Structure 1
Amino acid sequence: MSKKILIVRTSSLGDLVHMLPAISDIAQHVPGAQIDWVVEESFAEIPGWHPAVHEVIPVAHRRWRKHWWAQQTRNERAALRKNLGARQYDVVLDMQALMKSVWLVRQTHGKRHGLDRKSAREPLASFFYDVKHTVKFWQPAVTRQRELAAAAFGYQYEGEADFGLDSITDGVQVEPYAVIMPSASRDDKLWPEEDWQKVFTRLHEHNLDLKLLSGSPAETERARQLVEGNPRAQVLPRMSLTDVAKVLAAARMMVGLDSGLTHLSAGLGRPTIGLYKASTPVRTPLEGPAYTASLGERGSAPSAETVLSAIDQALDFDDSAHADLTGGNEPD
């Protein structure tokens, strides 16, 4: 008999990546789990990558809040309310614990689970759950989500985090390039240009080309300036999340600022180095099955020398892992 489950976690990109191992755990430990997921429309591709997700239900809160009372927005909100109201779930699990996620939870039918007031980022949200769970705040995001899911469904998880991204990684051949993410949503996360140039030089010494990611036109221009005159560097055009994930999956490694795409690279099992300057890696370290390094701290950017050392370690680690898989020899 199936157990109908609704997951509420709408954003952001990195947070959704951190959710994926919890979905794998639920699928493993809850017999007959049928998992639907409410997610922000711009990130709707991410839940769809996981084989255990039955249906993705998009919400457009980011777009709606710009024109909350416009007729089109009101019509779309009414359609979502009707959609959610027509469904009956055994468990509705709010894994965001914000008032904007509670707004969605209140439109659902089913036993509502979430964090208690001491565990939630916005304590007021806890008053709207039928069942409240305690999860320690100061621990990695992947662990928090796995613990919340385990508490909601009454199991003990074990083993390494499984991000469930085989749909992206299966059959991918790694190519000789590194992905670079030099941009961020906030200027206080940026890393000095001269340090980036040292990184580019080291990656070229390892015979790697560069593929730079960017989002907004301003970020694209910044990326172009960073690699101006560099014949082995390419600033990639804006792509879908699935296409970006495929680029990451085929990369030899990634070096990026603390961003959702950097966390996605780690989850895809590529050697990944994250540069933290305006946030702490205590709560959101890079996690994945390959080499990861979460360097720096809030108010203290990592030095270029530290990052260069991590690059060498990451590539050595990947070489060793490849040798283990091939018995120390390249295939004929």
Structure 2
Amino acid sequence: MPATLIVKTSSMGDVIQYLPAVTDLARHRPELAIDWLVEAPFAPLARLHPAVRRVIPVRLRTWRKTLLTRRTRDAIGELLKGLREADYARTLDAQGLFKSALLARAGRAPISGYGRGSAREAIATLFYDQRFDVSWDLHAVTRNRALTAAAFGYDLDGDPDYGVRAPAAAPDSWQISAPYAVLFTATARDEKLWPESHWIALGRALSARGLRCALPAGNDAERTRANRIATAVPGADIVPAMGLAELSRVIADARLAVGVDTGLSHLAAALRVPVVALYVATEPGANGVAGDATAINLGGTGQCPTPDEVLAALTPWLPA
């Protein structure tokens, strides 16, 4: 079976927003095996798509800090050797960066990518054999789908289908029988945070409507903040630390989700969980949650949605 390599390394949201393009490619070019080169922390997300044959993890963020160590040099050498030896029919650099173009060039297959005016870094286009201009005015999901359709020669059609499948069962560390809402209260930049008082008001309102609130948290700072919110919300739970694949099952089993500008909000949309994404320092525009009518964006730069506005958006999915 001929194979193709997709280079889409990061970030979490970018990786999730590429999943519908994988669905398209598998449907229109079923004769192709699809491999995906992705940053190791996000590899579990690529593995959620059944059309991905092989996930190739890289650790560019770590390697930059340890470039002179023997272990890093050996890991890079092994990766490049594997890419050179792989018999890919085509490589698609869907990232459009200098670093992703270098990774694409490590293999022997012809490379497709964005045109000079469409790539994030124009220098990346010097490494491509085929270049395609895709408008920046399109949503990121549509841009990914359009680029992939152009590179593999089929017409873009239909609504986006993320195609992911969460693990069949929730991890043993998370067992809850009551209906619940999952709240993504943490994000990488403080200016994107929704006020704790708003989370508490929303959590209490959801609790009064019969939903328990589940709050995932990553590092210690996120867990400390989530604990402050959960302590003030009746019946709220902190989701135990777990991998992205396991967390996807926790999200998939939720009645609904609310989150700030973070990759987990996109994951909820991908899993077809009704989600309201909150923006206070950025515009949702071309990068907001996308899917069907169950993916809703509120707010924008300098705007802060109120708990009442969030509840109003959630009304179709609240218990009677």
The answer to whether the aligner puts 1:279 opposite 2:282 as a matched pair is yes
Q: Could you tell me how far apart the structure 1 residues matched to 2:277 and 2:253 are?
A: 18
- Per-residue deviation, 1:167: 4.8
Q: Give the Å deviation of 1:162.
A: 1.2
- CA–CA distance in structure 2, aligned partners of residues 312 and 296 of structure 1: 18
Aligned equivalent of 1:24: 23
Residue 226 (structure 1) aligned to one of 214, 229, 242: 229
Q: What is the TM-score with the length of structure 1 in the denominator?
A: 0.90
**Distance in 2 of aligned mates of 1:13 and 1:275:** 17
* Corresponding position of 1:255: 258
Query: CA contact under 8 A between 1:37 and 1:55: conserved in structure 2?
Result: yes
Q: Paired residues, what number?
A: 315
Please tell me whether residue 118 in structure 1 is matched to residue 117 in structure 2.
yes
Q: How does 1:103-182 map to 2 (within 5 A)?
A: 103-168=102-167, 176-182=179-185
What's the counterpart of residue 299 of structure 2? 296
Contact (CA 8 Å) 1:269, 1:290: kept in 2 or not?
no
| 2:204–2:234 contact (8 Å) kept in structure 1 | no
1:168 CA drift (Å):
4.1
Provide the C-alpha distance between the structure 1 equivalents of 2:309 and 2:166, rounded to a whole number of angstroms: 34
Cα distance in 1 for partners of 2:299, 2:234 equals 30
In 2: Cα distance, 1:46 partner to 1:191 partner = 25
Unaligned residue ranges in structure 2 (runs of 5+): 171-175
Residues 53-81 of structure 1 deviation map (CA, whole Å, 9 limit, x = unaligned): 11111111111111111111111111111
Q: Percent identity?
A: 40
Residue matched to 1:322: none
**2:43 paired residue number:** 44
Moved more, 112-121 or 298-307: 298-307
TM-score, normalization by structure 2:
0.94
Runs of 4+ in 1 over 3 A off after TM superposition: 166-171, 313-316
Q: Deviations over 1:129-165 (max 9, x none)?
A: 0000011112211101000000001111211211111
Check conservation: 1:174, 1:252, Cα contact below 8 A.
no
Structure 1, unpaired ranges of 5+: 320-332
Q: Find the residue that maps to 2:250 and give its secondary structure.
A: helix
Moved more, 239-248 or 227-236: 227-236
Over aligned residue pairs, what C-alpha RMSD do you find? Answer: 1.9
Q: Report the CA distance shift for 1:26/1:74 in structure 2 as closer, same or farther (over 3 A).
A: same
2: distance between equivalents of 1:275 and 1:193?
13
1:189 aligned partner = 192
> Hey, what's the Cα distance between the residues in 1 that align with 2:100 and 2:276?
31
Query: Displacement, 1:315?
Result: 3.2
Question: In the aligned structure 1, how far is the partner of 2:242 from the partner of 2:198?
Answer: 27
SS at match of 1:178: strand
- For the residues of structure 2 that align with 1:207 and 1:31, how far apart are their CA atoms? 45
Give 2:173's aligned residue. none
Query: Alignment partner of 2:99: what SS?
Result: helix
